């Protein structure tokens, strides 16, 4: 995220409160609370975690891919029984949705598609229904990981 590269700049995620036909969320209060929590954490040194979980590393093995996230002790699902809007771009350029995944504290484990994954994407549909959040209810932002 660009916000991570610029000093004293932070980002409140709003993709989980939007609307498919209007990018401006009707519920502005939740965004205000997220912004206030970022100020509390970074300007007033409150012992809270207001930053969005971000993938910081991954490991590929014969059985799949494990992604490690920062800014949380544990990841959770806001709704549903699987992570929504999680996909890989395979070696043929196809976008393959991942519905078989597992959350292990601050990690996500997925089974790699047979054609080989080149990129892992979360939240990249036109209107995302991504539902991965931190243990403090901060949503995971959209991301793309290049896999080697």
Residues comprising the chain, all counted: 148
Question: What does the angle CA 73 – CA 8 – CA 47 come to, to the nearest 5 degrees?
Answer: 35
**HEC string of 20-80?**
CCECCCCCHHHHHHHHHHHHHHHCCCCCCCCCCCCEEEEEEECCEEEEEECCCCCEEECCC
- Per-residue pLDDT at 63: 84
- Per-residue pLDDT at 83: 95
- Per-residue pLDDT at 1: 66
DSSP secondary structure letter of residue 139: B
What average pLDDT does the segment 80-85 reach?
Answer: 92
Q: What's the Cα-to-Cα distance from 62 to each of 96, 110, 112, rounded to whole Å?
A: 18, 11, 9
Please count the other Cβ atoms lying within 10 Å of the Cβ belonging to residue 137: 11
**Nearest 5°: phi and psi at 121?**
-125, 145
The per-residue pLDDT for range 120-129, each reduced to its tens digit, is: 999 998 888 8
- Per-residue pLDDT at 65: 93
- Per-residue pLDDT at 103: 97
Nearest by Cα to 74 from 144, 133, 14, 11: 133
For tokens 């494990």, what's the residue? 66
Average pLDDT of every residue of the chain: 91
Claim: this prediction has a pTM higher than 0.85: yes
The per-residue pLDDT for range 24-69, each reduced to its tens digit, is: 888 899 999 999 999 999 999 999 999 999 999 999 988 889 999 9
Tell me what percent of the residues of the chain surpass a pLDDT of 90: 66
The pLDDT-based confidence of 3 (bands split at 50, 70, 90) is confident
Q: Are 11 and 52 in contact (CB under 8 A)?
A: yes
């Amino acid at each position: 995220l660009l916000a991570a590269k610029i000093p004293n700049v932070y980002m409140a995620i709003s993709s989980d409160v939007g609307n498919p036909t209007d990018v401006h969320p009707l519920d502005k209060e939740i965004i205000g609370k997220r912004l206030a929590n970022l100020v509390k954490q970074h300007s007033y040194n409150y012992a809270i975690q207001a930053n969005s979980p971000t993938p910081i590393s991954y490991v590929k093995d014969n059985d799949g891919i494990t992604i490690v996230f920062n800014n949380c002790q544990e990841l959770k699902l806001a709704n549903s029984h699987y992570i929504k809007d999680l996909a890989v771009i395979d070696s043929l350029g196809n976008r393959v949705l991942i519905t078989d995944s597992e959350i292990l504290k601050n990690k996500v484990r997925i089974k790699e598609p047979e054609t080989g994954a080149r990129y892992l994407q979360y939240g990249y549909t036109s209107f995302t229904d991504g539902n991965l959040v931190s243990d403090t209810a901060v949503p995971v932002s959209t991301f793309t990981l290049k896999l080697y």
